[in-house]
Copies of this chain bind each other. A is one copy, B any other.
């Protein structure tokens, strides 16, 4: 009985996710679901990207948080369109929340849409929102064992950004061990190493993003 209810929820979500995808494709908006643990640097990576691409790419952001508009306020200062969604306790965005966000955006005026999910390495992986790409950030201080402990997230994404590499000298993060664990779960995943603080590695991330945008 319980399982049946869950299946209904998932299929309702997937139906709306498919509608979202169609809305995005029809307006040639590239949307990216950005997931991570709390504090891994989702907003910082989005800000770095805006700073570098704003003259060439029309960017918008949907911010998902349980509470507050701290991140939306940071991004709003950059002059890009940003919509805050407060989930009111729910530990992830769902396709219906994104749908409401999309209805409040002028999609024809957007090339790239970041959908910043709630900070959580577990639940967001379970629900597709309808974005063309799903990515996650792992920050160096979280440790290299995370793919083994939270395998679904590392399996579900097409892109992994390892952030805070400026802290590598002060931690025991083993990049080879991390990469082996990840490719065991997800052989085709693209991995970038960046520091949003120092800017190291950001070029490679931007190059990939521009090629996805056809720029």
Contact = CB atoms under 8 A, between A and B. Distances in A.
Interface string A145-159: 110111110000000
A149 B91 CA distance: 11
B89 A91 contact: no
Nearest to A123: B91
B122 A121 contact: no
A20 interface: no
A5 B9 CA distance: 14
Tally of this chain's copies? 2
Q: Which range contains the number of A residues in contact with the other chain? A: 20 to 34
A70 to B, nearest CB: 6
Interface centre among A39, A123, A146 (most CB of B within 10 A): A39
Interface in A25-66: 37-39, 65-66
A152 to B, nearest CB: 7
Interface string A126-156: 0000000000000101110110111110000
Interface in A152-188: 152, 164, 166-167, 170
Contact of A146 (B38, B121, B142): B38
Interface in A53-88: 65-68, 70
Given A67-B148, A149-B66, A141 B119 contact: no
A118 interface: yes
Contact of A167 (B91, B120, B121, B167): B167
Contacts of A139: 141
Contacts of A121: 37-38, 119-120
A203 to B, nearest CB: 22
Nearest to A166: B170
Contacts of A119: 37, 121, 149-150
Interface centre among A70, A89, A119, A166 (most CB of B within 10 A): A119
Contacts of A122: 66, 91, 118, 120, 123
Contacts of A170: 166-167, 170
